Structure 1
């Protein structure tokens, strides 16, 4: 059976960027099916008209389908924030345990070839429940302005809440994909959070294992003035979500990590769980290879 991807875009008054985001999903090429849902919060700026245009293009055959099939749905209603919209969107799709799922916000992009890369990697390593790519950033005009080095996100540091861009780098949501089984096991997104719901989800996912980092670009995050997480609000919300016990655990894991990483004791870091899986393509052999790396670039 071909792999099925279940992708959701939450949006509200996103006419400036929605075409770019939708096109990045619908133009994916490969041996898979896409079920794509846009959950709109009641836009009044022309977003819904653009979404109707894309649906009409698919229905009329005016957009080339480069995979096995695409189904696109749109729902527009008031919601209680982005994470409520995402939970509603995935519920409307009816998440399948064997699918790979993820979301792409209404200004960001899936990279060309992202979904076929995910198919190839999970075919090579069927035990993968969760994968992500290299951290990348676009400017407001859509120029690809930064591609980060490839490093790992160990389950230990993710579960402790250290990937907050103060201790260790954020895990980029754009291009992250996971199985429906993992989503069901962890209970979806916490709708009490307004901005840092992805950070909370990664912590809970990490309780079941580390994400596999693909040494490739799978998604692209766009910086622009209207994005929800601009400024310090994201950090304040994730800190407020920690209980005293969680904060104490984060501090203890950070102290352990710093003790081993300055100077870098690679053997000690590996022995104490500070590594995570990375896969990269070996061109000379034509295969994907899995290695374990640390949560910083190895030079």
Structure 2
């Protein structure tokens, strides 16, 4: 990227009735500094919890749309079509970017002009922002450091809030699948991966908020099952990977259920 045209990063934030967390998500994006231009777009599904007032308070720093949509996947596609950046990514409205994250991302795309998508490290945080479930973060970091397409086929270890890609890659592989509502990220990563390998950034990029009423917190069993169906769709002949994936999903579901039970039996932080 020449000095006349600094890298432009577009961050899409899909949201619906998440004003409680949205301000923090926006602040974590808008506070990013570095050698890049930043565009933040919020695609709101017609919230009635004060989200519009919150968005208006940011003035021209945030572009936004608030209208009924077909869910998160539909909102993401809408945002990607509106975005003007060279590099795209999305941040869920209850998650956060870590300080300096976008500078790391921008530097990676400048340093490796042939790399088309990158991802990095995520910390899991609880509803009030305390780091938790460190074992999940450590396990996914270990897998990310040993990335391969066959390994990705067995489980989704790439966190969506850390992934950024060049606009051309999305144009090549197609939009987010609007029929998927829980593992749409995994579907997109597999399509990316079938086209080109990612670059892993071993740096803190984002925080993923885990709480019982979130999509991941309340529907993780269905999410794992949807992911397994996606893997079978793309590589039905990779039977060994599909079997390993099923075993891993069963084990992960068991671990999450135990963690949920322990969390409910622990005193509040």
Q: For this structure pair, what is the TM-score category when the shorter chain's length is used for normalisation?
A: 0.7 to 0.9
Q: Using structure 1 for the length normalisation, give the TM-score.
A: 0.72
> What is the CA–CA distance in structure 2 between the aligned matches of 1:218 and 1:244, rounded to whole Å?
30
> Which of 31, 35, 53 is residue 35 of structure 2 equivalent to?
31
Q: 1:127 to 1:232 in 2, by over 3 A?
A: same
Match of 1:101 in 2: 88
Q: 1:240 offset after TM fit, Å?
A: 3.4
Match of 1:10 in 2: 14
Provide the aligned C-alpha RMSD in A.
2.0
Match of 1:81 in 2: 71
Does the alignment pair 1:20 with 2:17? Answer: no
Does the alignment pair 1:206 with 2:193? Answer: yes
> Which of 177, 183, 188 is residue 164 of structure 2 equivalent to?
177
Between the two proteins, the alignment pairs up a number of residues equal to 231
SS of 1:141 mapped into structure 2: coil
Q: Using structure 2 for the length normalisation, give the TM-score.
A: 0.80
Q: Is the 8 A contact 1:176 1:219 kept in 2?
A: no
> What is the CA–CA distance in structure 2 between the aligned matches of 1:244 and 1:125, rounded to whole Å?
32
Structure 1: runs of 5+ lacking an equivalent: 60-70, 165-169, 256-299
Match of 1:152 in 2: 146
Match of 1:275 in 2: none
Divergent runs of 4+, >3 A: 240-245, 252-255
Does the alignment pair 1:143 with 2:135? Answer: no
Q: How does 1:159-174 map to 2 (within 5 A)?
A: 161-164=153-156, 170-174=157-161
Q: Is the 8 A contact 1:133 1:218 kept in 2?
A: yes
